[in-house]
Amino acid sequence: MFSDIESRNSRKPRRRSPVMAQVPGRIHWQCRRGMLELDVILNHFVDQHWWSLDNRLKAELETLLSCSDLQLQKWLCEGREADNEVCNIVSRMRQADCHSSR
């Protein structure tokens, strides 16, 4: 009797979605920002486009994620020109029009 209750109450490990399996957890963690707008833009882009990025763009994305929220807001929300080391990924994000999902 108790074994039946235990088996029903035991938690099964959650399966990761195919997208989550492809994107390193540290990237998703770094997409969490202090500004909701940036959370939405970054997470949507990573979920939708990570698999299509080459290694150079993935490296630029990691550099981008190390920037301050204020800098990201200027580049991604206000459309200001991005620094050279992240200009390709910012351009790609703008082309993907991720911020229209806000």
Cβ atoms of residues 67 and 20 within 8 Å: no
Over 70: is that where the pLDDT of 45 sits?
Answer: yes
Alpha-carbon span 62 to 59, nearest angstrom: 5
> What is the percentage of the chain residues whose pLDDT exceeds 70?
74
Structure-block tokens of residue 69: 């929220």
Q: Domain residues of the chain, as ranges?
A: 35-102
Asked if the model's pLDDT at residue 76 lies above 60, the reply is yes
Residue 10 has pLDDT above 80, yes or no: no
Q: What is the pTM of this model?
A: 0.71
DSSP letter, residue 66:
T
